[in-house]
């Protein structure tokens, strides 16, 4: 009897997340875990699991629901699932929840000293440790076993109105962190920290800080550039073979008034490739040159592998906030394809680099300029998904119009310097053929629906729809196949994993985590 109890005890420990993360899983498509924000380094949010599929989705049922024990607010984090435990966040809070039952294992609460609490993307994991950012500018490491703090390190200056919200990404022995902030005249940057000690390894700014830095000649002065924005508030993607980190950057400053920053303002509104060990700049592509509409280009840059003329090709794709879809060679940043994925009116075409050419008539005006998309963008922070089996890039999109006004006509404007007033809008899920840039199918939402996405080899796309619905669509055709009514709007990107022969799908809606499963009959 004692031996049997010991076996049960040790089995329970193993199933409760005691053994930690095998870091090799970070570069593999997720199956029995979801070990990183996007599932793996590629940003695809694609699962090879097929037990839940387009033929049997009608049998998907609720397994459990967990309502947050504290904190309040909506879960914008993508949970990680490691060794049978889910780890997720709100600003100032981290939870560990049993992935089979939804039972809380532990809850860590950070004592904050300020900062903006708009949201938190989640944790990163390395071995038996977790990492998360706090609103008051700290990177914190916890023990995965019990949530106790190992160390804390300052990553930004709260007095300069930075804040932390990014899910850290672990690359080899580097914890990669970004910074958040709006209405700032400060520079964006990416940092790398030692996972053992938290010590800073390198910091790379997204805008030029001195003459000779990449893109310095696209600003009128280093003074303007070094106060130029370009925040890094989304998790990075990574190619282990090239050892390149792909960081997507935010808008320039001032946001709408731009009299003091003529030029394209590199590398704001861009995809930037950095060396994974040193943070050294390798290449940059500007998806929103000289942005005057608050179109952060922080949307996920997704890695795609293709064969062109019999030769393997390494690509990277982004559905940017400005309504344009880009496919680049991720070895050098050269554009292969540039197109619209919703109808826009602000660009006059593309330059020789494949970057949009802004139309001066559509920049904010004293009398107003009717512009599409609006400030919220054709896409926003909720992550897209790419399914290599269908060849489709899926993104929740918005076709919307705003009238943009400028009211600060000073030679040195501050802050926003203008605003927009919204008008007509419609939302839809766009399935984009990455080889042509054409929308293969479009599923319109009545009343909104802009959550993050998940696609699977079961020919499914999971997405949050309007009226608190969680929806599964046929990935090939866009046909709605299944939905469940939740108690709130889907607020994060869904994940999936398999345990004990059962496939689960996890999604957050407001302050509740919902688990659906396909149980064997």
The whole-number average pLDDT for the span 440-445 is: 97
The whole-number average pLDDT for the span 71-91 is: 95
CA gap 303, 315 in Å, rounded: 6
Confidence of residue 307 (pLDDT cuts 50, 70, 90): confident
- 271 contacts 285 by C-beta, under 8 angstroms: yes
Q: Tokens 């060679």 appear where?
A: 329
Answer yes or no: 305 catalytic.
no
CA gap 39, 497 in Å, rounded: 10
Q: Which pLDDT belongs to residue 32?
A: 93
Q: Tokens 């690359």 appear where?
A: 171
108, HSE (Cβ side, Cα atoms, 13 Å): 24
The whole-number average pLDDT for the span 349-364 is: 97
CA gap 360, 5 in Å, rounded: 74
CA gap 95, 393 in Å, rounded: 31
CA gap 374, 446 in Å, rounded: 18
Task: Tell me whether strands 418-433 and 439-445 are parallel, antiparallel or unpaired.
Answer: antiparallel
- Residue 491 pLDDT > 50: yes
- Residue 311 pLDDT > 90: no
Q: Which pLDDT belongs to residue 398?
A: 95
- Residue 366 pLDDT > 50: yes
What are φ and ψ of residue 388, in 5° steps? -65, -15
The helix (H) or strand (E) run that includes residue 124 is strand 124-126
Average pLDDT, the chain: 93
CA gap 347, 361 in Å, rounded: 10
CA gap 231, 296 in Å, rounded: 8
**Exposure class string for 304-338: b at 16+ Cβ within 10 A, else e:** beeeeeeeeebbbbbbbbbbbbbbbebbebebbbb
Q: Is the pTM of this model over 0.85?
A: yes
Q: Which of 40, 213, 294, 420 is flagged as catalytic?
A: 294
CB neighbours of 212 closer than 8 A, spacing ≥ 6?
Answer: none
Burial of 32 (0-12, 13-18, 19+ CB in 10 A): middle
> What are the tens digits of pLDDT across the range 180-230?
997 678 999 999 999 999 999 999 999 999 999 999 999 999 999 999 999
> What are the tens digits of pLDDT across the range 237-270?
999 999 999 999 999 999 999 999 999 999 999 9
Confidence of residue 86 (pLDDT cuts 50, 70, 90): very high
Domain segments of the chain as ranges: 2-518
Burial of 7 (0-12, 13-18, 19+ CB in 10 A): exposed
- 199 contacts 133 by C-beta, under 8 angstroms: no
Q: Which pLDDT belongs to residue 520?
A: 67
3-state secondary structure of 57: helix
> What are the tens digits of pLDDT across the range 447-467?
777 899 999 999 999 999 999
Confidence of residue 484 (pLDDT cuts 50, 70, 90): very high
> What are the tens digits of pLDDT across the range 2-60?
333 333 333 334 333 446 888 778 878 889 999 999 999 999 999 999 999 999 999 99
> For the chain, what percent of residues have pLDDT higher than 90?
87
The whole-number average pLDDT for the span 383-401 is: 97
- HEC sequence for 39-58: CCCCCCCEECCCCCCCCCHH
What CATH architecture is 2-518? 8 Propeller (2.140)
């Amino acid at each position: 009897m004692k031996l049997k109890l010991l076996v049960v005890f040790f089995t329970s420990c193993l199933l409760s997340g005691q053994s930690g993360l095998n870091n090799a899983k970070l570069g593999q498509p997720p199956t029995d875990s979801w070990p990183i924000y996007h599932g793996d380094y590629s940003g695809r949010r694609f699962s090879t699991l097929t037990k839940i599929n387009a033929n049997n989705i009608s049998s998907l049922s609720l397994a459990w629901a967990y309502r947050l024990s504290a904190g309040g607010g909506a879960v914008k984090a993508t949970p990680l699932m490691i060794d049978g435990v889910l780890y997720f966040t709100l600003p100032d809070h981290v939870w560990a929840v049993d992935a089979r039952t939804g039972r809380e294992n532990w809850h860590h609460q950070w004592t904050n000293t300020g900062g903006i609490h708009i949201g938190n993307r989640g944790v990163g994991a390395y071995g038996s440790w977790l990492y998360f950012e706090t609103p008051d500018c700290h990177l914190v490491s916890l023990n995965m076993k019990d949530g106790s703090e190992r160390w804390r390190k300052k990553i930004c200056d709260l007095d300069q109105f930075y804040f932390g919200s990014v899910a850290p990404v672990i690359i080899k022995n580097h914890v990669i962190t970004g910074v958040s902030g709006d209405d700032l005249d400060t520079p964006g940057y990416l940092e790398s920290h030692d996972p053992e000690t938290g010590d800073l390894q390198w910091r790379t700014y997204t805008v030029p800080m001195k003459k000779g830095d990449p893109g310095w000649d696209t600003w009128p002065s280093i003074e303007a550039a070094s106060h130029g924005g370009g925040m890094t508030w989304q998790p990075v993607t990574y190619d282990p073979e090239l050892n390149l980190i792909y960081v997507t950057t935010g808008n320039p400053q001032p946001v709408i008034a731009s009299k003091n920053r003529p030029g394209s303002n590199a590398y704001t509104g861009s995809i930037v490739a950095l060396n994974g060990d040193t943070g050294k700049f390798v290449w940059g592509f500007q998806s929103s040159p000289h942005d005057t509409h608050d179109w952060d280009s922080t949307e996920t840059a997704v890695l795609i592998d293709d064969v062109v003329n019999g030769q393997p090709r390494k690509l990277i794709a982004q559905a940017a906030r400005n309504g344009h879809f880009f496919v680049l060679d991720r070895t050098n940043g050269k554009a292969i394809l540039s197109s619209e994925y919703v109808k826009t009116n602000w660009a006059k075409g593309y330059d020789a680099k494949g970057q949009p050419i802004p139309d001066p008539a559509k920049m904010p005006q004293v009398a107003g300029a009717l512009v599409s998309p609006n400030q919220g963008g054709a896409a926003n922070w909720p992550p897209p998904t790419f399914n290599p089996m269908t060849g489709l890039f899926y993104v929740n999109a918005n076709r919307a119009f705003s009238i943009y006004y400028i009211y600060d006509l000073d030679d040195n404007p501050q802050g926003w310097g203008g605003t927009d007033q919204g008008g007509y809008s419609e939302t839809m899920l766009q399935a984009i053929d990455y080889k042509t840039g054409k929308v293969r199918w479009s599923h319109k939402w009545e009343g909104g629906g802009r959550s993050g996405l998940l696609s699977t080899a079961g020919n499914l796309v999971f997405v949050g729809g309007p009226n608190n619905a969680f929806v599964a669509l046929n990935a090939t055709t866009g046909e709605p196949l299944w939905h469940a009514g939740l108690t709130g709007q889907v607020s994060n990107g869904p994940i999936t994993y398999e345990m004990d022969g059962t496939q689960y799908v996890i999604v957050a809606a407001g302050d509740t985590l919902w688990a659906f499963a396909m149980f064997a009959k």
